[in-house]
Amino acid sequence: MSYHANERGYYGEFGGAYIPEMLYPNCEELRQNYIRIMEEPAFQEEFQQLLKDYVGRPTPLYFAERLSEKYNTKIYLKREDLCHTGAHKVNNTIGQILMAKKLGKNRIIAETGAGQHGVATATVCALMGIECVVYMGEIDIARQAPNVARMKMLGAEVRAAKSGSRTLKDATNEAIRDWINNPVNTHYIIGSVVGPHPYPDMVARFQSVISEEVKSQLQEKEGRKNPDYVVACVGGGSNAAGIYYHYLDTPEVGIIAVEAAGKGIHSGESAATSALGKVGIIHGSKTLLMQTGDGQITEPYSISAGLDYPGVGPMHAHLFRSGRGEFLSITDDEAMTAGLELSQMEGIIPAIETSHAFAIFDYKKFEKDNVVVVNLSGRGDKDLQTYIDYFKL
Partner 1 sequence: MNRIKQKLQEDHKLLSIYFTAGYPSLDDTVPIIEALEHAGVDMIEIGLPFSDPLADGPTIQESSTAALQNGMTTALLFEQLKDIREKVTLPLIIMGYFNPVLQYGVEAFCKKCQKIGIDGLILPDLPFDVYQEEYEVIFEKYGLLNTFLITPQTSDARIRKIDNASDGFIYMVSSASTTGAKSGFGTAQQGYFDRIASLKLKNPQIIGFGISNAATFQAATAKAKGAIIGSAFIKHLTQNGTATITEFVKGIR
Dihedral-angle region of residue 94 (phi above 0 means left; psi in -120 to 50 means alpha; beta otherwise): alpha
Task: Please say whether the beta carbons of 313 and 235 come within 8 A.
Answer: no
Distance CA(309)–CA(289), nearest Å, equals 9
Residues that bind partner 1 (CB under 8 A): 16-22, 24-25, 163-164, 169-170, 173, 176-177, 180-184, 278-284, 291, 293-298
Minimum distance, C-beta of residue 182 to partner 1, in the bound complex (Å): 7
Query: Which residue of the set 89, 105, 169, 382 is catalytic?
Result: 89
Minimum distance, C-beta of residue 18 to partner 1, in the bound complex (Å): 5
Query: Which residue of the set 74, 192, 377, 382 is catalytic?
Result: 377
Distance CA(154)–CA(143), nearest Å, equals 19
Nearer CB in complex with partner 1: 106/182: 182
Nearest CA to 144 among 304, 367, 369?
304
Q: What is the three-state SS of 61-81?
A: EEECHHHHHHHCCEEEEECHH
Minimum distance, C-beta of residue 365 to partner 1, in the bound complex (Å): 39
Nearer CB in complex with partner 1: 287/304: 287
Task: Please say whether the beta carbons of 209 and 57 come within 8 A.
Answer: yes
Amino acid in the structure at residue 240: A
| DSSP code for 114 | S
Active site residue 111: yes
Active site residue 377: yes
Query: Which residue of the set 74, 80, 102, 111 is catalytic?
Result: 111
Minimum distance, C-beta of residue 26 to partner 1, in the bound complex (Å): 8
Q: Report the b/e string of 364-386 with b at 16+ CB within 10 A.
A: bebeeebbbbbbbbbbbebbeeb
Active site residue 7: no
Nearer CB in complex with partner 1: 170/383: 170
Nearer CB in complex with partner 1: 13/212: 13
Nearer CB in complex with partner 1: 28/381: 28
| Backbone phi and psi for residue 71, each to the nearest 5 degrees, phi listed first | -95, 5
Distance CA(269)–CA(260), nearest Å, equals 10
Minimum distance, C-beta of residue 66 to partner 1, in the bound complex (Å): 45
Task: Please say whether the beta carbons of 302 and 333 come within 8 A.
Answer: no
Any idea which residues carry the catalytic annotation?
A: 89, 111, 377
